[in-house]
Amino acid sequence: MSYSAIRPCPSCSKPNRIPARYLASTGRCGSCKSPLPPLDSPLDVNESDFNAIIQEATVPVLVDFWASWCGPCLAVAPEVHALAHEMAGKAVFLKVNSEENEGLARRFGIQSIPNFVVLRNGKKVAQRAGFGGRADLRRWLLAA
């Protein structure tokens, strides 16, 4: 089971397939050879993509469990996105809709959202419910 993200080149806009193990790396466009920066925004994933990414990722993975009806989840989304941009190359950020991916929500015992999980080498190293701000989430991620 493998995963590849399709990312457009910032220079020529051609799509590039980026395997999960290289999401946090700087690469080169297959067409124009310009640098492709590390992933700097959260990826919306399903259970299959989630499993492939956490097994192949070379950096910590922060997972944001959320739901479309959850006001606090929607309110923190821009902060999570901004942190993903700040941490590009140091961590990969995933968004999991807990209603559409009930198996993952059960697997991590999600009972309240937003809920954040940090995984390293495919294993959970930290989990917390709620959001205390971008700086707090950054410290928590780095400590995990």
Hey, which residues are catalytic here?
70, 73
Q: Give me the amino acid identity at 33.
A: K
CA distance 27 to 50: 22
Q: Is 10 helix (H, G, I), strand (E, B) or coil?
A: coil
User: Is there a contact between 144 and 120 (Cβ–Cβ < 8 Å)?
Assistant: yes
Cβ atoms within 10 Å of 125's Cβ, excluding its own: 13
C-alpha to C-alpha distance for 97 and 102, rounded to whole angstroms:
8
Contact, 24 vs 5, CB < 8 A? no
